[in-house]
Amino acid sequence: MDNTSLMSFLDIIVVLAGAYVLYSWYLLVTKKEIRQGVMIPKDVDPRRCKDIDGFVKYMSPRTLVLGIMALISGGIGIYQDNIRLLNPIIYWTFFVAFLGVLIWFGYGTKKALKDFF
């Protein structure tokens, strides 16, 4: 497996993870269903949430932004690896933005666990 195919594989994983995060966001907003492993750790029972409406209001924008950024970042990576080389500034800007959103989401998740569980 060469470097390009490995990067393409990782970009596909990022796109699929973004799609799953967006699906989790949809369930959170429409059915108020908290997905374990995305918004809370697997060892936390979602039924223990003290304020489900507050949790939805707090976590839904973070989850939506993370899902969209994962789709965009992974899509740009797939395009970069398989179709045409982009300006490195574009590629790295979206990569760094995705990492920033991921960190922001992680801190938001920790705060939500402390405030709502």
Instruction: Reduce the secondary structure of the chain to three states and give it as a string.
Output: CCHHHHHHHHHHHHHHHHHHHHHHHHHHHHHCCCCECCCECCCCCHHHCCCHHHHHHHHHHHHHHHHHHHHHHHHHHHHHHHCCCCCHHHHHHHHHHHHHHHHHHHHHHHHHHHHHC
State how many domains the chain has. 1
Please name which of 16, 20, 22, 4 lies closest in space to residue 79, comparing C-alpha atoms. 4
Alpha-carbon distance of 70 to 65, in angstroms, equals 8
Tokens 């699906």 identify what position?
A: 23
Give pLDDT, residue 113: 94
Q: How far apart are the first and last CA of the chain?
A: 44
pTM of the shown model: 0.89
Is the pLDDT confidence value at 4 over 80? no
Q: What is the pLDDT of residues 16-75, one digit of tens each?
A: 999 999 999 999 999 999 999 999 999 999 999 999 999 999 999 999 999 999 999 999
* Structural domain containing residue 69: 3-116
